[in-house]
Amino acid sequence: MFDYTVETDKSITEAIASLEANLKEEKFGVLWQFDIKDKLNEKGLDFENEYVVLEVCNPHEAQRVLNENLLVGYFLPCKMVVYNDNGTTKIGMPRPTALINLVNNDEIIKLAKDIEDRLVNVINESK
């Protein structure tokens, strides 16, 4: 499966705050937060779903995978999304292993699996 997505009873703001705290425990930081609804509305486009993209990174892990293969930088930083889907808040991400398989390198796939497991735990603890 391409993604890992869960539902939560938290609001968008609460879910993001929980994600940020749990990411910090895994030494990941939020580099950038992009509110798609606000940006589209600012451009005069009608989009009413709350949809926030977080770009997250652990510098140590980024260095590890880039030292193996510079093409992996095409997939960095990792993305997480928090959004409203018909009244339900969801937290999700594309699975790093789904993307890294495109590079076809067993060592990088192992690194991606470790990162994915840690990010899945972050999402689970944040819901």
Can you give the pLDDT of all 127 residues of the chain as single tens digits?
899 999 999 999 999 999 999 999 999 999 999 999 999 999 999 999 999 999 999 999 999 999 988 999 998 999 999 999 999 999 999 999 998 888 888 889 999 999 999 999 999 999 9
pTM over 0.85: yes
Determine if the peptide bond prior to 94 is cis (ω within 30°).
no
- Kindly report, residue by residue over 19-50, the tens digit of the pLDDT: 999 999 999 999 999 999 999 999 999 999 99
Buried b (16+ CB within 10 A) or exposed e, 91-103: bbbbbbbebbeeb
Give DSSP secondary structure letters for 100-119: HGGG--HHHHHHHHHHHHHH
CA distance 110 to 67: 14
Which pLDDT score, from 0 to 100, does residue 103 have?
A: 84
